[in-house]
Each structure stands twice: as C-alpha cells, then as structure tokens.
Structure 1
Amino acid sequence: MRLRSPGLFLLLLSGLRADVQEREVRAMVGSEVELSCVDFKENAFDLNELHVYWQITVNGKTKTVAYYLSENSSAVYVDAQYKGRAQLSQAGMRHGDFSLRLRNVTPQDEQKFNCLVFKKFERALNMTVALHVAANYSMPVVSAPLSAPQDQDEALTFTCRSMDGYPRPNVYWINRTDNSLLSEALYNSSVSVNSRGLYDVVSVLRVPRAPSLDVGCCIENVLLHQNLTVSSQAETGTFTGTKSGITENGASARAGSPSALAAMLVTGLVVVAVAVVLAHRSRRLPCRRYAGAQAAKPELELTDHV
C-alpha cells in the first residue's frame, strides 16, 4: 500500500529518533554546502520503494527542508525558507546517497538537520547533521584620539569597529608594549545583528594617559579559529595629533612658512609609514595566545565561500 498523504506521514516521524547517527559540518555564509546522508550497507535502491525526508525542528515545530516520495515529488510541503535552495539527487539516491545540497547558506541555517530514509515504509537510515555557519569579520578599524587631552589626568578613548561576521565575536584590547590583555573593566563592547543576520561590533576603550601609548583591538571568531588585530598608537605629551598631520608643540617655525610645511609633510609621511608597518604586523598578531585559546571548538569540516 502506498502512502497518498505526505502531510500525514510527516506527522508520524517525530517519534523516530532512536539510533540516530550524528555528525557536524560548517559552511560560510553565501556558500553551498552538502549535508551528507549515505547508506553504506546497500548500494542499490529502487526509487519506487523510497521515502526520504530532510527536516529541522524550530521551537518545537518540525519543518520540512526537502523530501522525496515515489508518488509525489512536488515541493508543496517544503518550508518557504528552503524552497529553491535545498535539493536531493535521484541519481545519488539510487546508489544510497541521500545527501542534501543547500545553496546560499544564511545564519538562519545554523540548525540540526535530520535525514530520514524509509524503504517499503521500514526505516533504513536516520542521521542528524549539525550545520555551523560562519562569516569573516571585516578588518577592525580603530579610531584613536585626534588630540592629546589638555588635562593630564584625562583618559584616552579608543573605538574599535568590525562588521558582517558570524558567530558572535570575542573582543579583546591589548597593551602592545608588553602584549598583555587589558582589563575588561576598561572597555565596553556592543554587538548587534544587522539586516543580513550578521554581527556588527563596536568596542570603546578608555585608558589613562601614558607616553607612547600603543593599544590593539582584536576580534576573535572562535568557529573559524580566526583573529583580526589592528593597533593604534597614541602619541601624547610631545606631539599633538590632528586631522591633517602631526605638529610639534612649541616649534619656532611659523605654521605657514615653507620650512614648517616641509617639516609637517616629512613628519606626516613618517607617521603614515609607521602606521602601515603597525597594521601589517598586527595582521599576524594572534590574540589567541593572550586569551581565548581554550574556548576554540574542535576543527570541523569546512565549506568555503563561493
């Protein structure tokens, strides 16, 4: 007897969770990923005897991602979130490969996907694939104070911004003079979800004024085992930073004189060169060696962005 109502049969699957095989995979946002579900015991299947279901459970409600029924192959029962993105291969299923191809991965796809295969209404396979989703954060941008505080006791404020990453990041501030972590009491980090479902982070650091203060901002993506670090050196005391360049306090040359302009130009070029070197070095600086090393998850299978 063939089952004529896929909707009715879907209701019978909720209790079939015993002996579930589980595995994990991760994919970049926007990529295509394969969620493997293969029967290695048999290498030949008759499609007329198969019922195949891929499902997720959200807030206690079961949603169908993709399915195959020999008498009804329409996508009417597929959840709207997965229509046009999830696909099974009939050629693969004939040889026991019931894997799901999922296109254009989004943060909302971070779910446990359950693969159920029935042959003549007897369960042949039950597998769960946990999909972990990741996205690279943008290189942090650190805004340093434009000028040194007039009050020697006034704190310096640095702002670090990074965008479009996933999952939620860890944020660290580093004292680059000795590569130590700054206390979390010195900074406040705000993480928000943008329109793409990705995370944007803004971190504000306030530290006491000190000569040649050099701090770094590190954004850690634990799932990708990735650290992005950028430094910003604040020159205080002798030099005062401005938007146009660096000028030395108490200089005898007039601001508008050719010698003063030349000095400002040379100094500006030096500052730019130093900034480039610092930025280049910071890309190689792993903040993981200062903190967060034990928080890293084991390496999972990775599908790169396409």
Structure 2
Amino acid sequence: MSRTVALLLFTQLSSRWGLRTDELPVQLPATSEAVLGGTALLNCTYPPAADLILYWTRLGPDSERNVYTYNRGEHLASHDDRAYQGRTTVPAGQPGRGDGALRLHNVTLADEGRYRCRVKSNRGMGVAETELRLIGLYHLSWLQPQLCSPSLQNVTLTCLAEGGYPLATVTIHDSTGRDYGAGTRAAKDPQGLYSAAHTADVPCSPTASYTCIVNTTLHQQNLTGTLGLEEPQPAWKGWAGVGVGIGMGVAVVVLGSGALWAGHQRRKGQRHQGPSPPREVDPAREEALLEDTGPTCTRRGDLPDILQEPPPTSKHLTPHPSVTEPCPTPRPGPSSA
C-alpha cells in the first residue's frame, strides 16, 4: 500500500515540477514575440498521443499560475487563473494530434514573461519553456523649431519617438550616411511605455534628407524627412508688386481726371453756346400760318435753347413735346399775265 502511495506522489510531483520517467520531446521556440494589444502565439509541438493532458502555466518568481488546462479533449476553464480566463485558446481538436499552441489575446505588459508547456500522455511526459517578449510600436515625428533660411548655417532638428516598448535608442543620419549621434533622453509613462528623443544641429541644406532610426532589442523603425525651408520673396518681386500698385493707382487718377475734364469742357461748351441759327423763312408758309387756312399736322419741335430754358430736372434726357401747327398750303403766285 505504501508503495502505491509513493508512486502516486511521485507522479504528481513529476507533473508539477517537470520530473519525468519517460520523456516526451516537447518543442518550443526559445522566445516568442507579440505586439501590444494583439494576440501572442506560443507554439508547442510533441508526438501525437491519446488521453493527452496539456498544461500551460506562467512562471513567476515563487510560483506558477495556470493559463490553460486541457484534459483529454476538454478545456477546464475553472482551473485557469482569473487574469487569463476568456483570453486563451488552443487549436480545436489539435492537442491530441501534437499541436498544443497557445493563443493569448489582447496582450498587455503584464503578460510579458516565461511560459511553460507541459504534456502528459500514456507515452510519457515532457516539458519545455518559452519567453514572451512584447513590442510596442513608437510614434515617430520630427521637431524643427526654426526654418532654414539663407542667414542660418545650421538648424536644430529633433526626432521624437513616443509611446513604445521596450526602451529605444534614437539616432539621426543624413543622406550621405553621416551619423549625428544617438539620443539619451528618455521617459516612462504610468502604463510602462517609453518616449525617447534625440536632438542634433544639422546643416541647412535644401538637398539633404535626414533619417531617424529607432532601435530596440526586438525591432527597428525608420522615419525619413527633409528640412523645412524658408523661401524669402525676391526683392524684384516685391518692387514689381509695388510698381504695379502705383501704376494702377496712377491710371485710375489719370482716367478719373480725364473724365472730369471732359465733363467740364462739355458743360463749358454748353454754357458758351450761342442761340440756334435762324431758320430760313418761307414766305408762302408764313402767309399760310397767318391766315390759318388748310389742314393741320404734327411735327417734332426743336430742342430748347439751354440759355433760355432750364435743363430738365431728371438725370435722363427727355424729348421735347410735340407742337401742333397748321400745315402750309401753297398759294398761287401772281399771274405773269
């Protein structure tokens, strides 16, 4: 009886601490990487076996936490640590076929660390470990407080890398390959993300481009840009604009003066205009008018003399009213007899 108890105890200790009698070849990569907020894939492969038990655990300084427990085709969710419940999956139907890959969803910085894959079957038991490393991509931007101008030889240029993980080193290179050093200024926010920056004085060259290189132990990011250049307006353009403005002003004055002068001359000519020349008198017509004989007819009257009658009050010219007078009738002249 004591021998049976000892064997059971040995089996439990082997399952918990990785002690094995018949070792299964369990394979895991030494490190696994995932982007913050994404899904981490922790691969674990082994020989297919029936009646398989699969344990995924998170290794801590003093203990292990259950991440995922698979027992003979069933996920024992109640055995998982509360921090991982609802966030872990394994390929459906695959653990018995030798694929016990763990997918950990919506990873945070708290998930970074070492994980253990333990497999037990009727063929034996095997254990392997991997380290999960997380990547937080940086937001890169250029800061240039002052634009380049012909009066400046150098300008200050800063590459800013914000909100990334792990801590990065920032370097600035120009298009010729010149290295303007690496940045040492860095800060960590309450969420554990880093910001780093590097500032350098670079030549004001309109043809040069600059590349910001952000390096971490896991990844590299680049950002290339050109300097902001001040483009002063040439002097001849400024004077041309002034000349055009002055010329237009002079033209307006000249045209206005010419119009005023023409109007003045027109009014002056009207004031000094003499009376209308007399019409030729037709003796026969005058005699017919005096005797008021014959039919009457209508004709357009003559325009009034501006010196004798005031001009119309309206701004528009008004026609002179029609005059009705008898039409002249020819009278027979004296007989030549």
Show CA shifts across 1:65-117 (max 9, x none): 11134699543442333111112356222323322122223343332211012
Does the aligned pair in 1 maintain the 2:159–2:199 contact within 8 Å?
Answer: yes
1: CA distance, partners of 2:243 / 2:223? 39
Q: Alpha-carbon deviations, 1:181-238, whole Å to 9, x = none?
A: 1134xx543243464x543333333x27666595624233456654312234255xxx
> Aligned partners of 1:259 and 1:166: how far apart in 2?
60
SS of 2:99's equivalent?
coil
Q: State the alpha-carbon separation in 1 of the partners of residues 46 and 38 from structure 2.
A: 26
Give the equivalent residue in structure 2 for 1:247.
Answer: 232
Q: For 1:135-214, what aligned pairs fall within 5 Å after superposition?
A: 135-138=136-139, 140-147=140-147, 156-176=155-175, 178-184=176-182, 188-193=184-189, 195=191, 197-205=192-200, 207=201, 214=208
Query: What is the SS of the residue equivalent to 1:13?
Result: helix
Unmatched tracts of structure 1, length 5 or more: 2-8, 236-240, 261-306
Distance in 1 of aligned mates of 2:227 and 2:38: 38
Task: Specify the code of the residue in structure 1 equivalent to 2:194.
Answer: Y
Which structure shows the bigger proportion of residues in helix conformation? Answer: 2
1:27 matched to 2:34? The reply is yes
* CA–CA separation in structure 1 for the residues paired with 2:243 and 2:82: 68
Structure having greater relative contact order (Cα 8 Å, sep ≥ 6): 1
Look up the SS of the partner of 1:55 in the other structure.
Answer: strand
In structure 2, what is the Cα distance between the partners aligned to 1:168 and 1:216?
22
Aligned-partner Cα distance in 1 for 2:240–2:163:
43
Contact 1:214 1:231 in 2 (8 A): no
Pick aligned residue for 2:224 from 213, 225, 230: 230
- The answer to whether the 8 Å contact 1:22/1:130 transfers is no
Higher strand proportion: 1
Report what 1:37 is aligned to.
Answer: 44
Asked if the contact 1:142/1:232 (under 8 Å) is kept, the reply is no
Distance 2:67 2:112 in 1: 13
Alignment of 1:265-304 (within 5 A): none
Q: Answer with 1 or 2: which has the greater Rg.
A: 2
Distance 1:103 1:22 in 2: 19
Q: Which amino acid aligns with 2:143?
A: S
Separation (CA, whole Å) in 2 of partners of 1:259 and 1:64: 83
Q: Which amino acid aligns with 2:43?
A: S
Cα distance in structure 2, aligned partners of 1:125 and 1:29: 30
Judged with a 3 Å threshold, the aligned counterparts in structure 2 of structure 1 residues 225 and 88 are, in CA distance, closer, same or farther, namely: closer
Alignment partner of 1:92 out of 91, 94, 118: 94
Q: CA RMSD in A?
A: 4.3
2-side partners of 1:10 and 1:105: how far apart?
A: 31
**What amino acid is aligned across from residue 172 of structure 1 in structure 2?**
T
Query: Do the aligned partners of 2:163 and 2:194 also contact (CA within 8 Å) in 1?
Result: yes
> Against the structure 1 CA distance between its residues 74 and 208, is the aligned structure 2 distance closer, same or farther, given a 3 Å change threshold?
closer
In structure 2, do the counterparts of structure 1 residues 208 and 99 end up closer, same or farther at CA, with 3 Å as the change threshold? Answer: closer
Structure 2: 5+ residue stretches without partners? 5-11, 246-337
Identity %: 24
CA pair 51-208 structure 1, distance change in 2 beyond 3 A: closer
- Which amino acid in the other structure matches residue 221 of structure 2? N
The reply to whether residue 75 of structure 1 matches residue 77 of structure 2 is: yes
What amino acid maps onto 1:45 in structure 2?
A
| 1:50-69 equivalences in 2 (<5 Å) | 50-69=52-71
State the distance in 1 between where 2:173 and 2:75 align: 57
TM-score (norm 1): 0.58
Give the equivalent residue in structure 1 for 2:306. Answer: none
The amino acid of 1:131's aligned partner reads L
Please say if residues 169 and 219 of structure 1, whose CA atoms lie closer than 8 Å, have aligned partners that are also in contact.
Answer: no
Q: Is the 8 A contact 1:144 1:157 kept in 2?
A: yes
The answer (yes or no) to whether the contact 1:170–1:220 under 8 Å persists in 2 is: yes
Task: Measure, in 2, the Cα distance between the counterparts of 1:258 and 1:228.
Answer: 49
Give the alignment's TM-score, normalised by structure 2: 0.53
1:134 matched to 2:135? The reply is yes
